[in-house]
Amino acid sequence: MREDIHNAVITWVDPPVEPGSGRLAGRTLLVKDLIDTEGVRTTCGSRIRGGCVPKRNAPAVQRLLDAGALLLGKANLPEFAWSVVGQNPWYGTVHNPLRPGRTTGGSSSGNAAALASGLCDLGLGTDTGCSIRLPSACCGTVGLKPRWGSIPTNGVYPLCPTLDTVGPMARTVEDVALMWSVLTGKAVPEPRLAGLRVGLLTRPPSVGDGRRAPANLAAETYVADLERLGAHVVPAMIPEPSADTWPLFFFEAAQSHRATFPARADEYGANCRTKLELAQQVRPDEAAEAYRAIEEWRRFEPPVDLYVSPTVGVELPPEDCDELEWRLPLTAFLRPVNLLGWAGLAIGDVQLIAPHNATVLSAGLAWERG
């Protein structure tokens, strides 16, 4: 067991003595403790599932292991992955190695902290509204929220299936692209920014609830480098959805927890319980309107090849902040990507957004290589 001063890991396992063979041979892997691992408990960061031991690996885990990755353990996360900061009432707060005292972001908190501190080489996380990209930005690492449906989510405890994704995390775009290739069976794309029309996104759309974030000019600092690498950068926007999409998130979260909430409400932490209480109040007609709006929004065809935005673009709050006060400011540029079903690649606080995985990975590789 390695020293874990950042509380990044819930459960450690002994990796095989002999490294496997394959494209990830010898690379150490930490899996978010929301994703099934054969014979290793999967707590979902909760009290309720603290003793759950799956009988098989989730397909995404199995593909990485088959490629030679060595499982080190299960990464800490907020309870049931429903938080934008790294707090957990049962397993403790994950600490930020890059910015001590500041949040790691959530919910793939342990993965990002472990990568930033050198505890592991690779991480497998999930992203429903921000959860791979936000911790990657907070901890200075790299994470891909893949296009919805492109990597199987079987064996991942659901939060909102219409938005849930599972994806790779690492310290470099190169390693994230390699993991994505293993997870999808597709070739690693060639680096490319030259000739791409890149949209500078300085004000993200809201999620249809009328609370649109103000303009944030942080991404303007990336323009000179993008143009030096051959991109044509233009101002761009993403239209607003036609209705409030929050009811869909709450409706599906309530369905995901219907076996244990409200029947076992007292076994949930205060933050998660508060959100699930709100979720019980969503009417079927509100959910139906949200589904319609998301289906319509996902038909939008962008006028650019790629968008660039900050991943976060605001000063990080303290690790003990009130999560309910920070969930919108920290995720303004992140949640719309899930609702659209697109791919989002966080390279620290640079976010590349496009409808397809290969586009953001290709651009990210070019950006990294400079």
Predicted local distance difference test score (pLDDT) of residue 3: 87
Predicted local distance difference test score (pLDDT) of residue 295: 98
Q: Which of 46, 109, 117, 131 is catalytic?
A: 131
Which tokens sit at 337? 């990507």
User: 3-state secondary structure string, 290-326?
Assistant: HHHHHHHHCCCCCCCCEEEEECCCCCCCECCCCHHHH
Q: Return the residue matching tokens 């680096």.
A: 191
283: exposed, middle or buried (Cβ count in 10 Å: 0-12, 13-18, 19+): exposed
Q: Return the residue matching tokens 């586009």.
A: 359
Are both 254 and 309 inside the same structural domain? no
Give dist(CA 67, CA 59) in Å, integer: 12
The mean pLDDT value for 53-71 works out to 97
Task: Provide the whole-model pTM.
Answer: 0.97
> What does the pLDDT look like over 132-166, one tens digit per residue?
999 999 999 999 999 999 999 999 999 999 999 99
Are both 136 and 191 inside the same structural domain? yes
Are both 21 and 60 inside the same structural domain? yes
Are both 40 and 123 inside the same structural domain? yes
Judge whether 107 counts as a catalytic residue: yes
Decide: 71 and 15 in contact? Cβ < 8 Å.
yes
Predicted local distance difference test score (pLDDT) of residue 16: 72
Q: Which residues fall within 8 angstroms of residue 47, CB to CB, at 6 or more apart?
A: 90, 267, 268, 269
Decide: 179 and 168 in contact? Cβ < 8 Å.
yes
Are both 229 and 255 inside the same structural domain? no
> What does the pLDDT look like over 7-18, one tens digit per residue?
999 999 987 767
Of how many residues is the chain composed? 370
Looking at the DSSP bridge assignments, the partners of residue 350 are: 310, 347
Are both 152 and 206 inside the same structural domain? yes
Give dist(CA 58, CA 42) in Å, integer: 11
Residue 299: inside a domain, yes or no? no
Decide: 108 and 75 in contact? Cβ < 8 Å.
yes
Residue 28: inside a domain, yes or no? yes
> What does the pLDDT look like over 90-128, one tens digit per residue?
999 999 999 999 999 999 999 999 999 999 999 999 999
Q: Comparing C-alpha atoms, which of 367, 320, 312 is closest to residue 133?
A: 312
Decide: 42 and 74 in contact? Cβ < 8 Å.
yes
Residue 174 pLDDT > 80: yes
Are both 309 and 286 inside the same structural domain? no
Q: Which of 46, 83, 107, 117 is catalytic?
A: 107
Q: Return the residue matching tokens 């500041």.
A: 102
Residue 1 pLDDT > 70: no
Are both 278 and 348 inside the same structural domain? no
Are both 34 and 107 inside the same structural domain? yes
Are both 197 and 346 inside the same structural domain? yes
User: 3-state secondary structure string, the chain?
Assistant: CCCCCCCCEEEECCCCCCCCCCCCCCCEEEEECCECECCECCCCCCCCCCCCCCCCCCHHHHHHHHCCCEEEEEECCCHHHCCCCCCCCCCCCCCCCCCCCECCCCCCHHHHHHHHHCCCCEEEEEECCCCCHHHHHHHCCEEEECCCCCCCCCCECCCCCCCCEEEEEECCHHHHHHHHHHHHCCCCCCCCCCCCEEEEECCCCCCCCCCCCCCCCHHHHHHHHHHHCCCEEEEECCCCCCCCCHHHHHHHHHHHCCCCCCCCHHHCCHHHHHHHHHHCCCCHHHHHHHHHHHHHHCCCCCCCCEEEEECCCCCCCECCCCHHHHCCHHHCCCHHHHHHCCEEEEECCEEEEECCHHHHHHHHHHHHHC
Percent of the chain residues past pLDDT 70, beyond the cut: 99
Q: How many structural domains compose the chain? A: 2
Are both 276 and 320 inside the same structural domain? no
The CATH number of residue 40's host domain is 3.90.1300.10
Decide: 306 and 353 in contact? Cβ < 8 Å.
yes
Domain of residue 281 covers 246-294
The mean pLDDT value for 198-207 works out to 97
Which tokens sit at 156? 């991942």
Q: Comparing C-alpha atoms, which of 61, 276, 273 is closest to residue 156?
A: 61
Q: Comparing C-alpha atoms, which of 104, 184, 179 is closest to residue 141?
A: 104
Are both 287 and 308 inside the same structural domain? no
Judge whether 362 counts as a catalytic residue: no
The mean pLDDT value for 323-349 works out to 97
Judge whether 150 counts as a catalytic residue: no
Q: Which of 32, 74, 145, 275 is catalytic?
A: 32
Predicted local distance difference test score (pLDDT) of residue 2: 74
Pairing of strands 165-170, 350-354: unpaired
Residue 240: inside a domain, yes or no? no
